[in-house]
Structures are given as C-alpha cells and as structure tokens.
Amino acid sequence: MKKAKNIINTANLTRLVMVLAVLLSLVAVFLVATKRTPGQMRAARLNECKSVVMVASGDTLSKLLLEQGLTHNDVNEIARVLKADAEISTLRADRDKLEFVRPHDDAPVSKIVVIPSPWRQVELTCNDAGAWDCKTMDIERDIRAVYKSGEILDGDSFYLAGQRAGIPAGILVDVYDLLAFEMDFERDVRAGQKFSVLYEENFSNGQKIDNGRVLAVSFEALRGNVKMYRFRKSDGTTGYYDENGNGAIKSLKRTPINNAKITSKFSRNRKHPVLGYTRAHKGVDFRASTGTPIPAAGAGRVIARSYNRGHGNFVKIRHNGSFETLYAHMSKFAKGVNVGTTVRQGQTIGYVGSTGYSTGPHLHYEIIKDGVHVNPMTVKLPAISNLGTADKKKFIEYRETLDEGMKQLEKNPNMYIQL
Ligand SMILES: [Zn+2]
C-alpha cells in the first residue's frame, strides 16, 4: 500500500487524495488482510517462549528481573545499560510493560523487551559473552485521518451531539479548545446546526493505539460557519487557520473555561443580583463548580493578584498589545501565581469560587481593551500567527485538497485517508 508521509506537506497531500480514490476500493480488503496479529506470526516462526509483565505499583526493575530467574549480576548490568543507552532508570506502574523471551520453556531469559510507550521499544539481548546489548527502536506509526460529522438536536449540547457522532472524548476536548476561540457555545449553538471533525488515529501493526491531532474542524455557528485547519508553515511551525488562511488561534479566549454555561452576559446596564440596583455588568459570568481550574485566557504577565469586596479573590493579566483580562470570585489562587508571574495561555491561575459579591460559584471574566471594558463574546481579537504570502498560497491549495478529501469521506463514513 502506498503511504504518504506528511499530511502537512501540500505536494504529498495532493497525492494523498488521489490515493484516496483508489483506497475507496482497497480499504475493506486492507482491514481484513491485517487481522493476523504479529504474535501469531512470531509463534509460527519460533518455538520460543514469551511472557509479558505489566508493571504494577510497587514493582521495581530488580524485583521483576529476579522473579524471572535473572542473577544479581544480570540485574545490575541490565539496570546500567538501560540507564546509559535508553535513559530508563525507573519503571512506571500501569504504563510500562516488559516482555521476557526464552529460547524454550525452561531456558534462562535471553531477551527482554521494555515497552515504555506504544511507539518505543527497548530490546535487551544477552550476547554470547553473557553481557547485555541494548537497542532502542521507534515503532512506525500508521496514521489515518478519520472524519466524523453530526448535527445538534433539540435540547442538545455540542458535547452530547459530538459523542453521538462518535467523536472520542479527548478529540472533543481539543475541538472545544479550538472552537472556543471563535464561538460562544451558549449563544451560537442551535438545533439543526451541523459540524464535522477530521482527526488522526494512530495504528501500530494494524491495531489502533490512540488518537492524534485534530486536522480540521467545521461548525455551522449562528454567527457564521467556523472552519479551522491545522497547517505547517514553511518555517516548520504548525498552527490552526481559518479557511482564508488567517490565524485561528487568538491571543485571548472568549470562554476561558471550556463548556461552562454563561449565566450572565456583558451589559452596560443590569440589575445587580446582590447589590439590587442597576449597574453595568463589565464581564461575563460562567457557571462552574467550586474548585474548577481557571485557565489564563492568553499568555501574559500577572499585574494583580488580590482581594476586594466586589471581586473577591481576583487575578488580572496584561497581555500583548492593548489587552488585559480579569478573573473574579476565585476560591483560591494557583500556586506560584503572583504579581509579575509570566503565564502561558491555558495555564491554571486560580480556582472557581464565590468570594466577594457573588450569589454562587462562578467565574466572572472581563476583557479590558485600552483601558475600556469590552464584551468578551464579540470583541475582535488579534490572531497569534498569520501566514505570509507564500505560505498563504500553499495553505489555500492544501485547504482545497483537504476539503475535497472530506467531501469524499462524508459520502463514505467508514473510509479514512492513509497519511
Ligand atoms: Zn459577573
């Protein structure tokens, strides 16, 4: 089967989608043909005896090796080689796996395979001199782009609709993260709206291991269709761009906490629930339970970490350009967040609470532009990365090819693109 290496490379992708047409007829065959597991193939080849041990809590390398009948000398030598050649000095419970291979049933162990991830194997073999050789191998990833689409039904949340469409939870979280730059899930989601996601699935030896990255997402939001594509620029950096090639990742997030319901909108004029009289609501309130981490809406520097009667515990961040954000009613601040601390976008700065003038646990979030409070849901936000002329041209070609590929997948939901 023909394999194209890199989806981000435009030239390859053009080939990919041509391959896709051929694949339409081949994939069914391919899926059946790879049913044979590597274990079966190996067993057929050799008489050797193999046992697999999943590292459990309390296990140490020496304990596991001694249990397999290895000598103390072997144990020391193996520990030394593992550290020197594979940078492995401890085993992780419930994550690392060991394979012990013997030439036959009651022979001593001749080979040990340490498997720290589905994508890496470290093979230790006992040579004729009785010393242990160590070899690290990267497992080749077979990446497939799969397409899922769905529709919002009456009374649905995007999360429910996404689950119904078969989008894995981890991918849904990433999609939320992306869409939150452009959408307000409270206001922009209605029954009848369609959405789609193209994402990577990683396979090894025909078996699915995990999911990869989101490659494209589209959502028919109320304020217009939101589309984002992952693209690698000529300088090697990757980012998400809208269909015209404008940076989709904004310097600030409109909704810092994913999937939090808006309980009070920005308004120049509202009756305050605690104070009783009418005054402006200078931010947006998001409902969330006490203790929910509050991520910084954008990268910046903390300029206030304090308490006042109205805001309770609050943090204020100055971002690039003319923007500041404020987060109020926190139950507590995150460790290490002080005035002067530099924070990344998404870094936890505190936890939801109900301190100050507040009727219940929620996040009160403000965006201040050039000293003036603006509506976080509608303010025009600068993009973090934009494309130069040459990259933009490449992006548009790439995007058109990808759109064409997704059209094919829409018609054939069980198909995938071999990357
Ligand atoms: Zn508020």
Q: What would the pLDDT profile of 225-270 be if each residue is shown by its tens digit?
A: 899 999 999 999 999 999 999 999 888 998 898 878 888 888 876 6
pLDDT on residue 221 = 84
* Cα 305 from chain centroid (whole Å): 30
Average pLDDT over residues 61-78: 94
What dihedral do alpha carbons 354, 357, 358, 362 form, nearest 10°? -60
Cα(251) to centroid(ligand 1), Å: 22
Cα(301) to centroid(ligand 1), Å: 22
Percent of the chain with pLDDT over 70: 86
pLDDT on residue 277 = 61
Cα(96) to centroid(ligand 1), Å: 47
More confident residue, 15 or 101: 101
Q: Which tens digits make up the pLDDT trace of 36-58?
A: 344 444 444 457 899 999 999 99
Two tokens at 336?
Answer: 């290490």
Tell me the sheet residues that pair with 97: 54, 115
Cα(269) to centroid(ligand 1), Å: 12
pLDDT on residue 68 = 93
- The model's confidence at residue 272, banded by pLDDT at 50, 70 and 90, is low
Q: Is the pLDDT of residue 271 over 80?
A: no
- The model's confidence at residue 188, banded by pLDDT at 50, 70 and 90, is confident
pLDDT on residue 191 = 93
Q: Is the pLDDT of residue 2 over 50?
A: no
Contact 33, 22 (CB under 8 A): no
Average pLDDT over residues 20-42: 41
Cα(282) to centroid(ligand 1), Å: 7
Q: Which of 257, 259, 256, 284 is nearest to 270 (CA)?
A: 284
Mean pLDDT for the chain? 86
| Contact residues for 13 (Cβ-Cβ < 8 A; gap 6+) | 4, 7, 398, 401, 402, 405
Cα(308) to centroid(ligand 1), Å: 14
Choose the weakest-confidence range: 15-24, 95-104, 165-174, 402-411: 15-24
| Contact residues for 67 (Cβ-Cβ < 8 A; gap 6+) | none
Cα(325) to centroid(ligand 1), Å: 13
pLDDT on residue 377 = 87
- Of 151-165, 168-182, 324-338, highest mean pLDDT: 324-338
Two tokens at 78?
Answer: 């193996």
Cα(218) to centroid(ligand 1), Å: 31
Cα(339) to centroid(ligand 1), Å: 23
Cα(362) to centroid(ligand 1), Å: 8
- Structural domains of the chain, ranges and CATH numbers in brackets: 46-138 (3.10.450.350), 142-249+385-418 (3.10.450.350), 262-374 (2.70.70.10)
Q: What is the DSSP letter of 76?
A: H
| Beta-carbon-side half-sphere exposure of residue 61 (alpha carbons within 13 Å) | 21
More confident residue, 330 or 89: 330
pLDDT on residue 28 = 35
Q: Which tens digits make up the pLDDT trace of 198-235?
A: 999 999 888 899 999 999 999 998 878 899 999 999 99
Q: Is the pLDDT of residue 24 over 60?
A: no
Cα(284) to centroid(ligand 1), Å: 6
Cα(263) to centroid(ligand 1), Å: 9
pLDDT on residue 165 = 96
Measured CA distances, 214 to 174, 175, 231, 331, 400 (Å): 7, 7, 11, 34, 17
Cα(377) to centroid(ligand 1), Å: 14
